[in-house]
Amino acid sequence: MNGNIYQKFEFYVRVSITMYNPDDLEFTPARMHKIFPSILLILILLPAGMLLAAPIQSMVPGGVAIIELGNVDKTPHFKFRNKPVLVTHLNDRLVAIVGLALNLRPGDYFISGHWDNESALLKKFFTINDKQYSTQHINIEDDRKVNPYASDMDRILTEQKRQNRAKNHYSNKAVDVDLLQPVAGIMTGSFGRRRIFNGQSRRPHSGMDIAANEGVPVAAPANGTVIELGDFFFSGNLVYIDHGQGMISMFAHLSEIDVELGQQIEKGQIIGKVGATGRVTGPHLHWSLGLNGTWVDPSLFLP
């Protein structure tokens, strides 16, 4: 099966990440002893080139599909559900990297498009498998961040529109898909979890939380342009970066924003500091990664 070794690798990476999560009580030290040798074995079996290859394909809601377009020098124009998809070279292959929304149902899908200067419509089919994400109960001290006042609603709706516009931003430029982890720290692997805040069901977690202390600098995972920023009701101090071709980073809950709207950012440049602003239980970095207008699991893009 296509991508099988990647899926196995992804599984072990996920297990190793999840082991660090204090929420997941099933990963006791006793089980870590059993799992660790398997991780080592997989790492030894994988050729070095594969370990470095990012992103990792994950054909599930919240994952990414990596679709071969062939070994060609032509310029492709492909869309998935009416949004242009990212196209890049991975090694010597031209591929489309398609973001798969968390709310997609398992089944058969396709991207469609054409080569530059050619009118023939092309379709590339792929299958999305099921994935069950776990549920997380979170207690927020400031209940207004869970049950906003009526007077908060105007602000919240305006901010939602701004965030939606930023998430769907598209600029046609070359893009680096081998991303840098924005802060050193433990990645909690909570992307996609269904969440219950103060006993009430809310939208699934659309990003990765990285445990870090207040004030730790946050680095840009790739080059880009600052397309949105500000102090938002739920996200606190946030920054959106357009990396090109629909790849968007969003950082939330910052204590400080160190960039300006429209600023060009280099990979590794400091864009702000970790904080605890907005709807949080404590300081951490929230990082969302968008592709073709939908949030995907950022860990798939880290080495």
Burial class of residue 35, CB neighbours in 10 A (0-12, 13-18, 19+): middle
Nearest to 66, CA basis, from 51, 75, 56, 78? 56
Which range, of 115-123, 179-187, 267-275, 285-293, touches Zn ion by CB under 5 A?
A: 285-293
CA distance 164 to 158: 10
CB of 207 to Zn ion, least distance (A): 5
Q: Of these, 279, 286, 299, 300, which contacts Zn ion (CB under 5 A)?
A: 286
Residue 242 touches Zn ion, criterion: CB under 5 A: no
CA distance 188 to 184: 12
Instruction: State the number of binding residues for Zn ion (CB under 5 A).
Output: 2
| Residues whose CB falls within 8 Å of the CB of residue 172, separated by 6 or more in sequence, listed in order | 244, 245
CA distance 177 to 196: 32
Upper half-sphere CA count for residue 107 (Cβ side, 13 Å): 5
Footprint (CB under 5 A) of Zn ion, residues 205-234: 209
Q: Which is nearer to Zn ion, 195 or 267 (CB)?
A: 195
- C-beta nearest to Zn ion: residue: 286
Which range, of 164-172, 180-188, 204-212, 275-283, touches Zn ion by CB under 5 A?
A: 204-212
Footprint (CB under 5 A) of Zn ion, residues 36-75: none
Q: Which is nearer to Zn ion, 55 or 283 (CB)?
A: 283
CB of 205 to Zn ion, least distance (A): 6
> Which residues is 108 bridged to in the sheet?
127
Which range, of 63-71, 75-83, 196-204, 280-288, touches Zn ion by CB under 5 A?
A: 280-288
Which range, of 1-9, 130-138, 155-163, 284-292, touches Zn ion by CB under 5 A?
A: 284-292
CA distance 229 to 239: 4
Which chain residues interact with Zn ion by CB under 5 A? Answer: 209, 286
